[in-house]
Structure 1
Amino acid sequence: MAKKGAAVQLQQEVGTEEEWERLLEREGLIVCDIYSDWCGPCSAMSAVLKKIKLEIGGDMLHLAMAKSDEIEPLKRFRTKSEPTWMFLSNGKITNLMFGADSPRLQRLILAELKKEEAFRQGLSDREGVDVTERFGVEIERWEEDQGKELAMQEREEAKKLKEEMERKKKESQNILEMMDAVGCVLIFPHAKGKYQEVLGDLINEAGLMIKEREKVGAWFNCRPPFIILNLGYHNRSNPPRTVLLLRRRSIP
């Protein structure tokens, strides 16, 4: 018999995986307050839970507080500060609630007790999911968070791409301002029929025009500055054939 004035612990404290496994083995409905050590359990709801336990739930209702820090199946709750109420039966999650809404929590407990009683009497089945799986509103929240994270990543990537394009544009403008008005492009024999396809748009966008085409037989015949266009050419014994002399359409 408990001493006079001694408090009766109606909420079991769970802090290890071994204690968690023992809790899941209990018969009946388990209502567990999942919390992290840094924020603590939702003590404001303790009085309501204990009242339901003593007046309605009896031996069929078990109350617990599980510290997720050392319990691997509950690791997804370690960074949460919002009160989390997990309803368990036969080691499975049957319902889940977030927040400190006392009337709603009471309604859920009473509804789950009715389902548990019907299951114990063989009148209905008891469906649930593994503790490591997301359940109900938790899935909706996770999908919403994933969508927000994806949108943020896309914004960051778009920002980086814009910054990279602006940087390249600025570098290209600096190069155009510093380079001579006349330049050369060396076309190797195998690329003779491809340079228009490769360089056409670039030449037009840069405001350049092909002024002359000149065949050369050695490297020293080309006047610098020049650009070497080598489309997969590896035969060093065959010298470049054509030089394009490029000139700006308008010189600032």
Structure 2
Amino acid sequence: MAMVQLLPLLLSALLIAASHQAALAFTSSHVSSTRSVQLRSSTISSSYARPASRKSWTARERDAILGRDGEYFKLDRMRGKIEFGSSNRIKTALDGSDEASVRRWLADDEQIAMSIWDPKLIKVVEPKVYRLKLMTLMFVTIQLAPQVDVRMWTDDRGYFNLESVAFDPNIQLLPGIGVSANSLGITIDVVGELMPSTDGRGVDGKIGFVTSGELPPPMRLLPEEVLKASLSTINRTIANFAITSFQDGARAKFRVFLASERTRAS
């Protein structure tokens, strides 16, 4: 967590669509934290219920995502199942750091959590759980403005960890596609970890996300390379946003952290 929106994660992530067209289109824009996303008046809005229970992760599930490099795509055309995502390394130099100062910084999980995402798009929902909003995504006849609840904590090794525990794809359907939002069966998983770099001059880690769902029959007819190319664009958009958000936020927050330490010492 991405992360994590890491993150999520960042990320992550976030759509499977149905259409009577074979053409694919993709646009993205940032979600404003001060207003809800609205479709044009000619559209149909359908929201996805947040899971009643929060997800628990096993070490094997974490390792499966963090063990990948780059983009991930899996299609079961007969069953209509699809998975896609991305796992990326996050390596960031921090000015004025050494291993000891990085470890002290990573020990404050709340401070790190607020460093990894655009501050307008993150909020605390309960202790150590943060809600990350992603950019708005448009894929054929579906618009999504996903948000993911991510648990973030520092473990006994001094590693900062993140795991998604709940999500809301926030799906809004355009007219005439003949499917419901619930029938898409979308799930969003985000996992990540962060640690001092080997030279002590920054942080090193990884964030990965996976989105899965069910392709309705019209979409199953599209060539795999067409689906893969469109989802690859989404993967890169989310991954680049998550990595850039963390790198910019981490550098700025670490400078503030060092300054506060110097102030307390004086």
* Shorter-normalised TM range: under 0.3
Higher relative contact order (CA 8 A, sep 6+): 2
More strand by share: 2
TM-score, with normalisation over the residues of structure 1? 0.25
More helix by share: 1
TM-score, with normalisation over the residues of structure 2? 0.24
Bigger-Rg structure (1/2): 1
